[in-house]
Structure 1
Amino acid sequence: MPATRPNPMVRLGRLIRRHPLIAFFALANALSWTAWLPYVLSLNGLGVLPFRVPEILGTSQFAGALPGAYLGPITAAFLVTAIVDGRNGLRAWAGRLWRWRVAPRWYAITLLAAPAGMVLTGIAFSGGQIAAPSLAAISAYAPMLLLQLVTTGLAEEPGWRDFALPRLQSRFSPLSASFILGPLWALWHAPLFLTEWGGYPDAAWWRPLAFAGFCIAFNIVMSWVFNRSGQSLPLSMLMHVSVNTFASVLWFEMFPAFDEDGFFAALFVGAAVAAVAIVIGTRGTLGCTMAPSSSTAGTGIASAERAEEHGTTRVSP
């Protein structure tokens, strides 16, 4: 009897189990970029299609960018985890989302360090010219932070940090893992630079490059926070959205002389300085003491996740 060929879905499942990281990155990009296509082609972007994306809270980004963000990293991470690791893997993946019990200093670091660093960067780039933010902006900061937490933070971090980072660190050194994840994180945003989100069509040609540099540098900071907080996803989300919220609510009130291009340049330099300080301070470990193991690469739950399930996850002191 001739051998029967496996069902295409079975073959696809085998391929995903063999290459979970590649499957995640490919699926996250495919899902998000497909959902962003109407936004890119609309009058808010390239102008190919004769309609504008409706504005919510004064911006088209909620209706234009957020659906693709939700459909991308978090959905891809859920699907790949379910296929590769099954119920136990989903439990470990989702468990980090509820890891709120972290030393109070880490809440201070994630909520205050990023705004403080951005203020210092702004002062350095503006030659000391800084203005007091309005009472309206100060009042809007906390509500916007919470909104960003359940939009940008929830849409992205379960994929980049919760799914991808532990698997990368199981195969590579923490620093190498960060240098791999950073450019991929930046690439995911690429289509948005053809919309109002990225300042199209008025942005300088180098703005996407400055943003990519920021993603690479800031990903080192994010990896350090994730590792040192015991792989707490809420802390990673707070660190991420602290930057977003300060940028959207307070930055241009405090530094009105900056234009968008200047902001991206300052953001990159500030993140690079923080990344270098963390690399030197941790000697490249980024707070992770789990040794890479090629035997667990791409097959099932990464070694860090296995240790976590048994309560043995370790971080550097």
Structure 2
Amino acid sequence: MTNTIEARSTTGTAQQDRRGVRGVITRHPLLTFFTLALGLSWLAWVPYILSPHGMGVWDIHFPEVLGSAQFTGVLPGALLGPLGSAFIVTAVADGRAGLRRWVGRLFRWRVAWYWYALALVVVPALIVLSAVPFAGGDVHAPSALALSALVPGLVIQLFSTGLSEEPGWRDFALPRLQHRFGALGAAAVLGPIWALWHMPLYLSDWGGWPNAHWSEPVVFALFTITFNVVMIQVFNKTGESLPLALLLHVGVNNTISSLFPEMYPSMTAGTLMIGLTIMSTVAAVVLLVVTRGRLGYDPARRALPIDAPIPVPVRKRLVGSHDGNR
């Protein structure tokens, strides 16, 4: 008698949870996340794009921080988008258990030393070398000041670019995409969306507006799509370590911003992206071939997809019991 009553109560609760906005988010967490991530960021970037830092339509000036207005004009939109959307969808769809799992990846820093060497030494070195063929011989050794700026620059990038993006793209979206489509399918979905998210910024000084050539966002998109493959491999092989994903991501940005102005003074942003894209494409192809498209993903690690609700008819539990699968 007790089991029958509890089953009816659970079913009613589940039906109520599936209604309205909460129900839509719970049923479609990935679609909701991508919609919010793009929509919130793009909406927040409108004033910056229309300001003198972009198209010059509105006379709105953003204060500069560390010599750049992008901290006040671009960073808020990044925080609202991937980071804010991941938090909202996780809280609604997965509750406290989901939030603990989401935040937990941020503390998975105990991985083999060579992964840190890859993110902090090998990848930055390859980035520097990728520009040499396109420098026209105008290559200079970095000064002591530029080298000393690497560490503080990395820290700033970690707490701005890294923490605004990676908790969304890699921490929230990637595990769900992989459970649904596998590693190769996840790369095919996440890479283009990650690239698309950046595109409005090409209408601002972030992307070199108004002097950037039309091909520059195309090349950047190709780099983002192929580098995403590298990041998926590292994320999976390090046990879904978000710190490594953060370092790998911001290591690219930090190397370019700290070293390239002195090492390649005559090189344009569009030219340096060509070298980066070629290198990342080669790396992505090699990883896809060597891993046969698996990219370090082991589907046997989890019994159920992260976002898959347990069917209501077989879900019989005591009222107030904790659902550990959410």
- Map of 1:61 onto structure 2: 70
Task: Return the letter of the residue paired with 1:145.
Answer: L
- Choose from 189, 200, 203 the match for 2:198: 189
Task: Return the letter of the residue paired with 2:130.
Answer: T
Given that 1:42 and 1:50 are in contact with CA atoms closer than 8 Å, whether structure 2 keeps it comes out as: yes
Give, in whole Å, the separation in 2 of the partners of 1:235 and 1:125.
29
- Map of 1:280 onto structure 2: 289
Given that 1:45 and 1:200 are in contact with CA atoms closer than 8 Å, whether structure 2 keeps it comes out as: yes
Given that 2:17 and 2:23 are in contact with CA atoms closer than 8 Å, whether structure 1 keeps it comes out as: no
Does 2:267 match 1:258? Answer: yes
Could you tell me which runs of 5 or more consecutive residues in structure 1 were left unpaired when the two chains were aligned. Answer: 1-5, 302-308, 311-317
Give, in whole Å, the separation in 2 of the partners of 1:154 and 1:19.
24
- Map of 1:15 onto structure 2: 24
Larger CA Rg, structure 1 vs 2: 2
Given that 1:84 and 1:300 are in contact with CA atoms closer than 8 Å, whether structure 2 keeps it comes out as: no
Stretches of 4+ aligned residues off by more than 6 angstroms: 6-9, 292-295
Which range is displaced more, 51-60 or 182-191? 51-60
Give, in whole Å, the separation in 2 of the partners of 1:134 and 1:7.
63
Q: CA 1:125 to 1:14, structure 2 compared with 1: closer, same or farther past 3 Å? A: same
* Within-5 A mapping of 1:154-165: 154-165=163-174
- Choose from 176, 191, 208 the match for 1:167: 176
- Map of 1:199 onto structure 2: 208
**What SS does the aligned partner of 1:59 have?**
coil
Question: How high is the sequence identity, in percent, across the aligned residues?
Answer: 51
**Once the two structures are superposed, what CA deviation does each residue of 1:147-169 show, in whole Å capped at 9, x if it has no partner?**
10011000100000000000000
For these two proteins, the number of residue pairs brought into alignment is 298
Does 2:47 match 1:38? Answer: yes
* Within-5 A mapping of 1:17-166: 17-126=26-135, 129-166=138-175
Give, in whole Å, the separation in 2 of the partners of 1:294 and 1:194.
45
Given that 1:36 and 1:65 are in contact with CA atoms closer than 8 Å, whether structure 2 keeps it comes out as: yes
Given that 2:82 and 2:164 are in contact with CA atoms closer than 8 Å, whether structure 1 keeps it comes out as: yes
- What displacement does 1:10 show? 4.4
Aligned-residue CA RMSD (Å): 2.3
Give, in whole Å, the separation in 2 of the partners of 1:127 and 1:50.
40
Q: CA 1:116 to 1:300, structure 2 compared with 1: closer, same or farther past 3 Å? A: farther
Does 2:245 match 1:236? Answer: yes
Give, in whole Å, the separation in 2 of the partners of 1:7 and 1:47.
48
Give, in whole Å, the separation in 1 of the partners of 2:185 and 2:300.
13
- What displacement does 1:127 show? 5.7
Give, in whole Å, the separation in 1 of the partners of 2:241 and 2:252.
18
Give, in whole Å, the separation in 2 of the partners of 1:11 and 1:79.
15
Does 2:271 match 1:267? Answer: no
Task: Return the letter of the residue paired with 1:21.
Answer: L
Which range is displaced more, 72-81 or 111-120? 111-120
Given that 1:173 and 1:291 are in contact with CA atoms closer than 8 Å, whether structure 2 keeps it comes out as: no
Task: Return the letter of the residue paired with 1:254.
Answer: M
